[in-house]
Structure formats: structure tokens, C-alpha cells
Structure 1
Amino acid sequence: MDPSAQGGQPYGQYQPYQQPLPYPRPPQPVPVNGLAITSLVVGIVCCLPPLGLILGTVALRQLRRKGGRGKGMAIAGIVLSSISTLLVLLMVLTGGAREAWNGFREGFEDAARSKGTGDLRRGDCFNVPGGDLERVVVNVETVPCDEEHDAEVSGTYRLQKSDPAPGSPRGETFAEERCLDINAAYARDSWALPKDVETYYYIPTEEGWSGGDRMLTCAFTGDALKGSLHVGPDSHDPDQLSYINAEHIVETVSSQQPEADFADDPAAYRSWARKTSGALSEQATALRARSWPEEASAALGARARQFEASGRHWDLAAKAADEDTFWTHVTTAEGTLTQQARIAARDALGLSTTPPPEEG
């Protein structure tokens, strides 16, 4: 029987499938005017106040013409910028802007001059807050060395694990000895140092030491220091430097007397004498080899001869058979270097002729 005769659908035929309609697109949000946002931001942060006022006005015109969101932002930006603009004009008229700028500049300069004691470096001149050099401080104020200052950094030394810890008696002695050497190398002309100058240093605190801080900072301090104490090409001419270096080398070696008594370690004393003799001989040769200015030649020649004579007596001391003979030659060697000859050499080179207090 034909299924169609009974009102049914024929075999093999299906009800057509209808593709459902897609979901309707959500409405697109109305964009916010970019100038309105910028005007509000500029108004809030108070930078270039008139700019926020102008941008807000332009934003309102665009919103009236094109529509969009951001009217409230634009109005807020205009209001805030107007207030900022009026404040700026008032400050300009009353001089407040200059005072505000000066205050900002001074604050910035103060912050730039502030340095941690562990950040100080060779050649820095600084003042301690309150001028109290005895109390522990974290930061100091660096200043130009041609201004009055409390101290001048001569150098730094990185403490080793084998060095005594700072704060202990041995640590204090060790730090002072290291700084004496560093100070002497920085200001090699002992005759040019102010009479009241002293060695000064910063050592790591207990907390800093535990945290790995190993920096020893050495400095000079004195009353009303002004000008750098450094001896170098910026402060002295080549002739002055050559002479100062010669005297400094002789002073350094001759001052390294052994700590033990002669009877306990005669070999150390004889070694000291040989080193001093060698230093005097080398520096006498250096003084003779240099072509000095005509007005200084005689005085430097006389000092070279004293170096040679002193060196011969130090050499005899190194060969001495007993302690009495050793000290006899050392005393003669020291007496050979007269203060008069040193003053004459310094005067000829334009250097200070006032002996340090320890030399009378």
C-alpha cells in the first residue's frame, strides 16, 4: 500500500532541518572619549594645568558633535585644571613658585650629597651630621673639598677573613695601622699636613660584619679643613712630586722598625737596615738623575749626597756584629739627614718649609 494514500510521508523522505537563527549580537559599548580621559589625568596630577583645561574643552566639543561617553571626566578635568592653573598663577604673582622651586632644588641637592659611610670613596670630602665625629652615623653629607669640611677620605681597604674583626682591640689596632699607611700614601707630603690633622676611619658595624660588610674607610679629620690634602698631579708639578716621592719612600722604609727587641730578633733589624740603605741609595740616584730647575739644582744635589751618606751608615748597621754597633750606625745615619738641607730643598721647589710637630 502506498503510504501516501493514507496521508503519511513516503519512505526515504524526512522533514527538512531548519538552521536555528543565531543569537543576536550584543550592543556595542559607546566608546569613551580619549581626550576626556587625558584631561582628567592631567587635572589630577597637576602637571601642565592649562593643558588639562584645553583638552577638557576640546573633549566636550567632540562629545556634543560625535557623541560618546566621558562628559563627566572632561568636566572634572576642566575643573581640576582650572584650579591648578589659578594656583600656579597665584604662586607666580606672589613669588611662591620661586620659593617652591628653590625648596625642591635644595632638597634634591641635599639628597644627592647624602652618602652612606660604606659608599664613600677616595677623595670624597664630607661633613658629619651635627659635627659629632664620635657618634655612629649611617649617612654623611659630601661637599666639594674647597669648602670647609669635617673629613676627607684617603682610601678604602677590604678586610679579609684572616683580619681581626672590627670592634675588638686587635681589630681597632689593625684598622688604625691600615689607615695610617693609606693616609701616608694619599698625602705623601707630611710637611704640608695641618698641625691638628688626625687619622679617622669607619669600620663595619656588628650587624654589617655579620651580613658580609668588609669595607674599612680611611680618612683625615681636623678643625675647619679646607682644600684637599691629596698629593698628585692636580696639586703639584712634576719636580715637586719627584722630590716628595723620594722623601716619602725613605720615610716609609726607615719607619718600619721591627716590633721585637734587637736581642730577640737581630736578623729582623739587620734586614730593616739593608732595606733602608737600599731605599736611600735608590732615591739618591733618582734625585741626581733628574734635571732640576736651575734655582733648585744645588739644594737637591746636597740632599742627594745626604741620602748617599746616610745609606752607607745603614749598610754598616746591617753588617754590625752586636747591638751597640748597630745602634751607633743607625744614630749616625739618622743624624746625616739634616733638617736644614730638607728645608732648603723644599724652599727651592716652592713647598712648605714648616716641619711637622713630631720633627720639631
Structure 2
Amino acid sequence: MALVSSLVLVAGVAYGGEGLVAGFRGGLQNAGLSRSTMDLATGTCFDVPGGDLRAEFSQVAVAGCQETHDGEVYATYRVPQRSGARYPGEEAMWRIAEEQCTRLQDGYTMDTWAVPRTVSSYFMTPSQHSWDRGDRAIACAFGSTDGALTESLRRDASSLNEHQLVYLRAANATSQALAGVPTTKLAEDLPSYRGWALRVSAAFAEHARLLKDHQWPASARRNVAARQRQLASAVRLWDRASRSSRAEVFWQNWGVAERASDLQVQTRDAKARAALGLDTTPPVHEETAERDARLGADPTPGAR
């Protein structure tokens, strides 16, 4: 996936932030319409105080998506309303936002390879203060880690043809399955990892089936067929990982399956995409060491 999904955590409404908001409004009188973060809609492009999407703020200035802007809302989500429900806390709110924003992201940018590598996903969540006033809105937004955005990142179904839609929907479903890796330690929670690998294997199997069953244009058939065969190979590798009897065996099988998937992305996937008129920029993956540190998953250092 070309998108770097860092999902930086952003608070939705700042405590005692009226002075900041007032100054922000004054400085943006000619830049755009001031709008509460509670009222952002999908497709809205905006600027924030100081251009820092990691800061706390409760107001943004609406901007044109073909102009320089700090962020672009790609999805919104309302936390289910329950009468008398207490604020779940910042960490719980951020977990909800991360889960929902990750789930909704591909619907807005279906060709994730087309998203610049400098773009990350951010989200704005209710604070304790705004929750008590009835705020249940989570806004998911794209922002650049290297300067401002200069165009819309929207690449939804309305901009794609039939063949591109089939190819991307199948690929994105597999990506979602891969993103569901457990965050527990592998040595302490092998069953969760085995279950995840089995779901990934099933996703690859469905991916391969969708490619095989579709009637592709003549110009793309050979490359899509080659991609389908490699997906079938991935099914076997992830299935083998799901049947690992020990954590260290799982780790080794996971590495084999992961490396094979990466190789496929860089070869057949790119060729099939080119034949279908999709972006061919290889995706950016987390470095193994960074992933290991995040998961704390390696039960036997050096096993891979």
C-alpha cells in the first residue's frame, strides 16, 4: 500500500481553546469558512491552526481541494449513541477511531497505490468536553508529512471503470485482512495469530477467485492470470502459517508468506495494474524492525 498508515492521534476539541480558535478565525477571514470539527463532511478540504494536524483544535477553515490545504476528510463516523453513556476515555476513543478510519479509508481512495508516500492518515475525535455536549463525530483525514496537499486524493468508485473496480475491491479486501494482525505478543497468544493467518489465507483465496471469475479485457488477461496464480500460492503459505504448532514455527512461516507477498506486489501486481491503467508505484511497507518493536512479537530473536 503506498499510503503510510501512521494514524497520528488528534484530539477533536481542545480544552479552553477559545482564544486559539478566535485568533485562528481572525487570521483566516479571507481564506475560507470557519467550521467546527464536529461538522466536517466527507470530501471537505481544510486548513488548521499553524498547519499542524497533530495539535488540538476545534475549528478548521474550509479550503478548496485544488488549492493548497492541510487536510482532506476521507470519512466520518458517529460513535453509536447510548442514553447516558459516559465518555469512554481518550485511549478507547482513539482505538475506535483507528479501527473505523482504517476500515473506511479504501472507499475514498480505492487505488491506494496512487496515494503519495508522504501522506498519512489522521483522525479527530470527541474530547470529554465535546462528548458532554453531545459530540459523537469522528473525522478521518489525509494530511501530508512533507508540506501541504495541493490536490484532492479522492479516487472512489465514481472515477474507476468496471475492471479497475473489480481488481481494487479484491486487492483492498486482502489488504484489510493483512492489517488485522494481532497486537499481542506472539509468544503469549499463538491462537490469535493462527486465526489471523487463517483469515488472511481465506482473503487471498477469495482474491484469487474474483480475479479468475472476471472477464478481463484482452490487454490485461495474461498479467491478471499470472497475478491470480501467485495469489493461489499465497493461500498455501498463509494456510501453513495458520497450522503452526509453536510460536517460533509460526514466526518462520509468517516470514516466508510475507516475503512471498512482497515479491508478488513488486512484480505481477504492478504489471497487472499497468495493464488496467492503475498506479504502478510500489507500496511502502514498515521496516521489519519497526514492526517487531510495535508488536513485540518475535519469540526467538534471529529466527527469521
TM norm. shorter chain > 0.5: yes
On the 8 A contact 1:123/1:153 being kept in 2, the answer is yes
- The answer for the alignment partner of 1:225 in structure 2 is 149
- The answer for the alignment partner of 2:271 in structure 1 is 344
| Per-residue deviation, 1:352 | 1.8
- The answer for the alignment partner of 2:22 in structure 1 is none
| Per-residue deviation, 1:174 | 4.4
What secondary structure, in the 3-state scheme, does the structure 1 residue paired with 2:188 have?
A: coil
Distance 1:112 1:250, change over 3 A: same
| Per-residue deviation, 1:130 | 5.2
**Structure with the larger helix share:** 1
Alignment of 1:181-260 (within 5 A): 181-222=103-144, 223-260=147-184
What stretches of structure 2 of length at least 5 have no aligned partner?
1-28, 288-304
- The answer for the alignment partner of 1:355 in structure 2 is 282
CA distance in 2, matches of 1:306, 1:164: 47
CA distance in 2, matches of 1:216, 1:203: 5
What is the TM-score with the length of structure 2 in the denominator? Answer: 0.72
What secondary structure, in the 3-state scheme, does the structure 2 residue paired with 1:153 have?
A: strand
What secondary structure, in the 3-state scheme, does the structure 1 residue paired with 2:174 have?
A: helix
Q: Which digits, 9 at most, give the CA deviation of each residue in 1:105-124, with x for residues without a partner?
A: xxxx9798442211111111
| Corresponding letter in the other structure for 1:200 | Y
- The answer for the alignment partner of 1:140 in structure 2 is 60
| Corresponding letter in the other structure for 1:304 | Q
- The answer for the alignment partner of 2:187 in structure 1 is 263
| Per-residue deviation, 1:359 | 6.7
| Per-residue deviation, 1:335 | 3.0
Find out whether 1:152 has 2:72 as its counterpart. yes
CA distance in 1, matches of 2:54, 2:260: 42
Q: Which digits, 9 at most, give the CA deviation of each residue in 1:292-351, with x for residues without a partner?
A: 121111111111111111101212222233334333333332233321112111111122
What is the TM-score with the length of structure 1 in the denominator? Answer: 0.62
CA distance in 1, matches of 2:87, 2:132: 14
CA distance in 2, matches of 1:302, 1:205: 49
What stretches of structure 1 of length at least 5 have no aligned partner?
1-108
Alignment of 1:124-135 (within 5 A): 124-128=44-48, 131-135=51-55
Q: What number of residue pairs does the alignment pair up?
A: 251
On the 8 A contact 2:93/2:125 being kept in 1, the answer is no
What secondary structure, in the 3-state scheme, does the structure 2 residue paired with 1:357 have?
A: coil
Q: Which digits, 9 at most, give the CA deviation of each residue in 1:277-301, with x for residues without a partner?
A: 1111111010011111211111111
| Per-residue deviation, 1:216 | 1.3
CA distance in 1, matches of 2:239, 2:52: 49
CA distance in 1, matches of 2:75, 2:30: 24
- The answer for the alignment partner of 2:301 in structure 1 is none
**Larger gyration radius, structure 1 or structure 2:** 1
- Among 192, 206, 214, the residue aligned to 1:290: 214
- Higher relative CO (Cα under 8 Å, sequence separation at least 6) belongs to 2
| Corresponding letter in the other structure for 1:330 | W
Q: Which digits, 9 at most, give the CA deviation of each residue in 1:190-212, with x for residues without a partner?
A: 31111211222222233212222
Distance 1:247 1:359, change over 3 A: farther
Root mean square deviation of aligned Cα: 2.8
On the 8 A contact 1:188/1:248 being kept in 2, the answer is yes
CA distance in 1, matches of 2:69, 2:161: 26
Find out whether 1:304 has 2:224 as its counterpart. no
CA distance in 2, matches of 1:164, 1:301: 51
Distance 1:325 1:206, change over 3 A: closer
CA distance in 2, matches of 1:135, 1:268: 35
| Per-residue deviation, 1:251 | 1.4
- Among 302, 307, 329, the residue aligned to 2:253: 329
Distance 1:303 1:163, change over 3 A: farther
On the 8 A contact 2:110/2:157 being kept in 1, the answer is no
